[in-house]
Structure 1
């Protein structure tokens, strides 16, 4: 068959659609946010393709509910290349191990390294005791406790500090009271007012025994003991506890990663570093950006690689590494941990891996592969996708980017609106044809009939003589080259640059931690903030009242987390149900309307609405709970209704649909309106957090922050807020961000989207390239000024 034929698709908001998708082509599925693109591509095509493949190779057949389609023919095995970073939680998984290139390097060093002596293949690895650094166990870093993490607010007293360390060192509170009595100081004294000796004993303990009074339910009295200290206590807890939650809390909240002093971050033992090729050991090669590693390997002469097998392995490594340039990730090193990659980087790395396997006759389904890519890198991405296509594979892309859409063989446009207003095929055909289609919003943006708002120089907010700045100096974080940067306040500021140029290093890894340091103290009288673990210093912090960072991390990692619970209106909704007459008769409290509680939640699925069914050692699927039929509640709770709807029905409403239901509830309505205004009207109130994309999670977080009453002079930091947004929804996002700036705030956006950058009041561009070839400021100014800058890589694309 030449097509994948879908008849009667009705999953999620898809309205019984029928479509023929041409095989062995690059097909892009477009449409406004929430129109049903992912439902068609991932929830239908990928899931059904995976189910059929697993069944064909003998994996256990599983009972499924009624199929969400009438007919699906011509579907080959499917590969979903998604942006889910949550799949990678093992810090030992690196770019090198994931791509298998590190294994090839190990073979090369086994054959060709000098001074190898008795070293074998098993020694050239950081994932085995034979080769790993014994100090860090091959991780390249060790964790240390730092005073500034244990005591983030030095104005608090020791008891308050212990209370904030609950689930970590909260139990030290009683000992601390005894310490105060023994050493004769007021336990309510702020930490920063205590003598250094007492602070040291509190953190590190004392060898001297002291009389400590102890009061608890079981014992009260005085006994002689040494005060253990918070840090020794925490080390002891880490050594003994089996609680993953407690370990994670201690490591995340109170410890700092520092480069291993034994292996200097190379992960391998000293003996292995003595084996070199052209003066470099395997750890040094694995720490190079792939771009640099390619050039190093190409320069190797016959005197460095002498065997036929070694030369063949070297050529294969270079061939595989070259694909990283097409994928736009050649700035990454092989030793880069998979847990540190963005969703876009994970997706492009997987594309690189699939291309290197050479498999054909597959259906590749991609989720916005252009995310995180600069305009000049997108041509390489399309080259890579065409190579995968030319191997005999079908490529289906869910995408909003106009440049990617324009290079597709065919477009399927869903809509016309989001959520229940979507789910229909609006258009199918070529790029030229969609531009002429009067029904397609996507077509109108492609043709230029509709455009995202532009600003001319006269409409931009200007830097006045009285303007205030955040000033960073001597910044050397990651690849940054001793930068000095002035960020004007009271404007919309865009941070631009090619992938890996240093945007996140400058903002997320330097500016934000330095500001957090200030806001944890607020009594800093120094001109510059400077902390040991951050390579740079900051001034001008007194000109902002708060710093709000809105990331794309999940709003929750369990199915029972929802948008309404995250933004804080679920309690209000449950209280409304508790006020209904039937609820009063049955003496139901608001707790009965929580699916997370024993009072009203389904006991079988624990309020999740579904049960995980393990169909293989590697795969599990969700099936509706048979007890509650997916409602999450016990039947009697659903008897209670508010305006004709029970809690299950309310949670299934979209944000837009719920506006009328809650029009008489100002607190609830306020937050729902904000969600609707920023283009999130299509999500349901009870949508599981695990099903939200990073972009959706980020916009829900933005809505939560916008719903709070804040002073002006707040700095809002957003990283690629356009991810997952159609052009039509980007306009809504810009309107909201503009309002924030008009209220006296500063909006700082790390972004590749050219419409956002063209709209900003001021730009800071890093480059000129990624990795070691980046880390410099190559352009600053208004978009008009940057456009005239010959050094800028963004200039040719600015409107």
Structure 2
């Protein structure tokens, strides 16, 4: 592998046929007046060519989604790596994007809550426990006895099963596909019926399903006939027990029972409240995703507002964006929305001080490590005040750039070329050093970092400087000086170096403007 990035004959925008060599795996800072050609060289030449070559290396199928990129006006560039641009211009205006989703912190939080979160019934507020087969059978019989305590009061619903209890095994829940083979396998295993998207169908028939539509398939394990008296009916209890056991086996520990009035009971040997019968769906990461139909609030579809163009919170979820079940899974008395509503510093403190059981701590350790490393970085670059649920479109350019930088640090890529545009904009002076340390850590992973910058601290930390000038526009576009900081400082033609040495200064105004006594209405 080459040790340098070699550029020959760069003429993009105002660049004047410049040629230079840049060392790989170093922190390189481009300096110069605004409009001198720094961005033309960094973004429109080096980054553009690096990205173009990477896209061209992909298959024709992949390229059709990325579009054809124009080749920059340059004779030759050698030694390029796949390039990643982190500028201030393009940040997401997607109403679903937040600080937590962009940095992937939310992805890890979803895994954390799915693995060690404790569900509580939204009805009784009590912890939800696993049910045994006997408890499931008892609950079904108890409900059936209640229905038949006064036969005159039984109200048959649409699709009710007259004097039968349907025991069903959920096989597919809200997933895309045709599932011909699955349905055929059910039939070959001796099953005759299933409920597909809410309708009972015969497995003897071919069941056409749309490939790109979500479907729910429940295997009808048994139609258990009721026998009177229901109480102390050993035959009914035994057949129901056998049907429930088979349904749990086929339905991944979940069984759906449809009573003879048409009402349904969804129970599991995992998470069902024995007191009020409230059953959680499978607690998995997608339950906590407001971008998934499985986890999003059904009223607002995960937006958290009444509609796309409104700031009024959704009445169903109160702006939380998630379905009820997701909001009732807790870790240390906090649900996932409580954590994302915290600012970054507070969430870092909360997650650092979690009190967990030994078994949960072992599961959570690698997940928390990833979350805490990203939160620590965001604090280091002065973004401690942002909340994790802050929408991407409401952030400034500098904030958005540092947020995207956090996601790149978290990915821990090696051998890439990063191009950044003034990452210190909006930073307090005390945070500059921590940002520089972050850039150095990204470099130390084995990446080349190119930064377009005016900040003196960042310039001083550079391994290699490239000064573009001498002026702006048509008066710029030339390489004035290149090399390590001490060497470049000796250059007498560089305006940047003259200011760093103190030869030139920007004078402060002797008199401040008087404050206006009027204001605009």
Whether TM exceeds 0.5 here: the answer is: yes
Q: Distance in 2 between matches of 1:272 and 1:76?
A: 42
Kept in 1, the 8 Å contact 2:370–2:410? The answer is no
- Counterpart check, 1:287 vs 2:292: no
Q: Distance in 2 between matches of 1:91 and 1:258?
A: 14
Q: TM-score, normalised by structure 2?
A: 0.64
Query: Which residue matches 1:13?
Result: 14
Query: Which residue matches 1:2?
Result: 3
- Counterpart check, 1:84 vs 2:248: no
Deviation at 1:312, TM superposition (A): 2.8
Cα 1:67–1:381 change in 2 (3 A) is closer
Q: Distance in 2 between matches of 1:124 and 1:93?
A: 15
Q: Distance in 2 between matches of 1:305 and 1:95?
A: 30
Q: Structure 1, residues 715-751: CA drift from partner, whole Å, max 9, x if none?
A: xxxxxxxxxxxxxxxxxxxxxxxxxxxxxxxxxxxxx
Kept in 2, the 8 Å contact 1:266–1:287? The answer is no
Matches of residues 52-201 of structure 1 in structure 2 within 5 Å?
A: 52-59=53-60, 68-85=73-90, 87-116=91-120, 117=271, 118-119=280-281, 120-121=283-284, 122-142=286-306
Q: Distance in 2 between matches of 1:16 and 1:126?
A: 50
Cα 1:65–1:96 change in 2 (3 A) is closer
Bigger fraction of residues in helix: 1
Query: Which residue matches 2:128?
Result: none
Bigger relative contact order, structure 1 or 2, given CA contacts below 8 A and separation 6+? 2
Deviation at 1:66, TM superposition (A): 7.6
Cα 1:381–1:305 change in 2 (3 A) is farther
Secondary structure, in 3 states, of the residue corresponding to 1:317? helix
- Counterpart check, 1:41 vs 2:42: yes
Q: TM-score, normalised by structure 1?
A: 0.42
Kept in 2, the 8 Å contact 1:327–1:352? The answer is no
- Counterpart check, 1:412 vs 2:413: no
Kept in 2, the 8 Å contact 1:131–1:269? The answer is yes
Cα 1:312–1:381 change in 2 (3 A) is same
Deviation at 1:455, TM superposition (A): 4.4
Matches of residues 592-607 of structure 1 in structure 2 within 5 Å?
A: none
Matches of residues 271-310 of structure 1 in structure 2 within 5 Å?
A: 271-303=325-357, 306=360, 308-310=362-364
Q: Distance in 2 between matches of 1:352 and 1:64?
A: 27
Cα 1:351–1:65 change in 2 (3 A) is closer
Question: Structure 1 stretch 93-102 or stretch 1-10: which is displaced more?
Answer: 93-102
Kept in 2, the 8 Å contact 1:277–1:304? The answer is no
Kept in 1, the 8 Å contact 2:52–2:71? The answer is no
- Counterpart check, 1:400 vs 2:454: yes
Kept in 1, the 8 Å contact 2:418–2:449? The answer is yes
Query: Which residue matches 1:447?
Result: 501
Query: Which residue matches 2:171?
Result: none
Kept in 2, the 8 Å contact 1:326–1:383? The answer is no
What do you get for the CA RMSD once the two structures are aligned?
2.4
Cα 1:58–1:128 change in 2 (3 A) is closer
Q: Distance in 2 between matches of 1:94 and 1:356?
A: 16
Q: Structure 1, residues 647-681: CA drift from partner, whole Å, max 9, x if none?
A: xxxxxxxxxxxxxxxxxxxxxxxxxxxxxxxxxxx
Q: Distance in 2 between matches of 1:125 and 1:292?
A: 22
Query: Which residue matches 1:544?
Result: 518
Deviation at 1:403, TM superposition (A): 1.8
Kept in 2, the 8 Å contact 1:266–1:284? The answer is no
Secondary structure, in 3 states, of the residue corresponding to 1:349? helix
Q: Distance in 2 between matches of 1:450 and 1:67?
A: 35
Unmatched tracts of structure 2, length 5 or more? 121-270, 272-279
Deviation at 1:298, TM superposition (A): 1.4
